Amino acid sequence: MTWSASARGAQQPDNTAFTQQRLPAWQPLLSASIALPLFFIAGLAFLGLGLGLFYSSNAIKELGHDYTGYPTPGNCSLCASAAPPKRCSCAWFFSLPELFPGPIYVYYELSNFYQNNRRYGVSRDDAQLSGLTWALRQPANECYPYQYSSAGLPVAPCGAIANSLFNDSFSLWHRRGPGGAYVEVPLERTGIAWWTDLHVKFHNPPLVNGSLALAFRGTSPPPNWPRPVYELSPDPNNTGFVNQDFVVWMRTAALPTFRKLYARIRHGNYTAGLPRGSYRVNITYNYPVRPFGGQKRLIFSNISWMGGKNPFLGIAYLVVGSLCILTGFVMLVVYIRYQDQQDEEEDED
């Protein structure tokens, strides 16, 4: 089959600099005088940033307590040994010799809990969590086996993530002097979730006759939940799918040891932090971790400009900066030796 000249011309691109690839181009030619300063400048920049991050992280104060109750004995050991796990209470006592500067954030930490498991991570229904009424009645297949209850009712919220919701609770009490009475420290339980999660991703279904309970009528709570989702909190703005404890839990962690924000301390006499004195934390021990060999910790921490305590980031920058400078010195030695050999060859010629 032959093509005419006009047919061949119709298939050709336009005769422009772009389509004919005649645009001017520049290709950088790296020389020692350019590459070596780049390595040293990058290394010094990384070292400076790493030192700043490292010292900033070390300046953050943390106070933590492992209240798992096993294998080492502790105040919560009786709660941990209950079989099957039942509602139990224990306490943690500690003293502060000086002011613990605020604002203070209260975290709970779980270890050996793999929220990054694929089947666990996809076991949720985002349409249901966004408040769509039809999704309440027809949970997604990804929620199986927590899709429907044994009675055949749709589970709301469905899925393994919601079913494993952390439900330990804490209250903090302060005694200023010996023999004095304990005064409860106010824990702010709002403002702990990401704004995008709380206002974009999570919504309650439309109210029915002004009632959220009626909106969830015909659904069942997850098997591990003692009460339905619309009773998570007495605050109507912090219950249902927009309960902030629930929203925080639904943002899954990438590592098997993780922390999640529980509360903040920044009101009343504790705006500047926790003053010196004796403290008691009342712990309602509900969440079992023995079946998967996990541990539970309660952590009080303040923050800096970089956020919470994280020495890894500063160490990573220091390592990268050191490698850049080391590479620069190695390249400098190679360049000097190569230049000396080249000069000797030119002298011989």
DSSP state of 83: S
- Looking at residue 85, its pLDDT comes to 60
Three-state SS at 219: coil
- pLDDT score recorded for residue 135: 93
Contact 116, 253 (CB under 8 A): yes
Residues 6+ apart with CB under 8 A from 99: 272, 273, 274, 275, 276
What pLDDT sits at residue 283? 94
Q: What does the alpha-carbon distance between residue 349 and residue 334 come to, in Å, rounded to a whole number?
A: 23
**pLDDT band of 206, cuts 50, 70, 90:** very high
Q: What is the pLDDT of residue 253?
A: 95
Would you state the pLDDT for residue 346?
62
With a cut of 80, say whether residue 30 has pLDDT above it.
no
pLDDT reported for residue 202: 96
- Which comes out higher in pLDDT, residue 33 or 208? 208
Average pLDDT across the chain, whole number: 89
Residues 80, 69: contact at Cβ < 8 Å?
A: yes
pLDDT at 309 over 90: no
Question: What's the pLDDT at 18?
Answer: 85
Q: Lowest-pLDDT range, 52-66, 135-149, 313-327, 333-347?
A: 333-347
Q: With bands split at pLDDT 50, 70 and 90, how would you rate the model's confidence at 81?
A: confident
Are 235 and 83 in contact by the 8 Å Cβ rule? The answer is: no
Question: Does the pLDDT value for residue 277 go beyond 70?
Answer: yes
pLDDT over 90 at 76, yes or no: no
Residue owning tokens 């952590």: 299
Residue 217: DSSP 8-state: T
Q: For 190-217, what is the mean pLDDT?
A: 94
pLDDT at residue 6 greater than cutoff 90: no
DSSP code of residue 267: S
Q: Mean pLDDT across the stretch 169-188?
A: 90
CA distance linking residue 267 with residue 141, whole number of Å: 44
- At 344 the pLDDT is 63
Q: Tell me which of 120-134, 299-313, 321-335 is least confident.
A: 299-313
Cβ atoms of 78 and 69 closer than 8 Å: yes
Q: Record the tokens describing residue 211, joined without a space.
A: 């009632």
Distance CA 62, CA 232 (A): 29
Q: Where are the alpha helices (DSSP H) in the chain?
A: 5-11, 32-58, 77-81, 118-121, 126-129, 133-137, 160-163, 195-196, 212-215, 244-250, 311-348
What mean pLDDT comes out for the span 175-184? 86
Query: What mean pLDDT do residues 251-272 have?
Result: 92
pLDDT of 8 > 80? The answer is no
Residue closest to 245 by CA, chosen among 306, 192, 196, 200:
192
Among 113-127, 145-159, 287-301, 328-342, the minimum mean pLDDT is found in 328-342
How large a percentage of the chain has pLDDT more than 90? 64
